[in-house]
Amino acid sequence: MKQQIKHFSPHQNSKVIAILMAFVAVIFAMPFFMVMSLLIPAEHRANLWLVFLLPAIYFVVGYCCVMASCWFYNYMYWRVGGIEYEVEELPAMDTKI
């Protein structure tokens, strides 16, 4: 059976993706940039406090990009249709061992 995604909730999807992006920035990007900033000579080093802004920047940029993408998808759905996928109902699994 073919189905189409009719609507993406812009705020909910943006919120979830933005939180995931900020989490990824804290776990992966911040340590990398902190180590790199310590390896650069002091006269060429940017302010270290900018590294701590990275998760907030990821959050805001991620939220805005996903919000715009959802709005655009919802707008385009009415003109060209949505993402189409096919599903198949599977038989119930026997739980007896």
* pLDDT score of 6: 92
* pLDDT score of 90: 85
Closest CA to 70 of 9, 3, 6: 9
* pLDDT score of 57: 92
pLDDT, tens only, 15-57: 999 999 999 988 988 888 778 777 877 776 666 777 788 889 9
Give the residues across from 4 on adjacent strands: 84
Mean pLDDT score of the chain, rounded to an integer?
87
Q: Give the Å distances, CA to CA, from 19 to 27, 38, 51, 53.
A: 12, 27, 17, 14
Spell out the domain ranges in the chain.
2-86
Portion of the chain with pLDDT greater than 90, in percent: 48
* pLDDT score of 50: 76
Please state the rounded mean pLDDT for residues 2-20.
Answer: 94
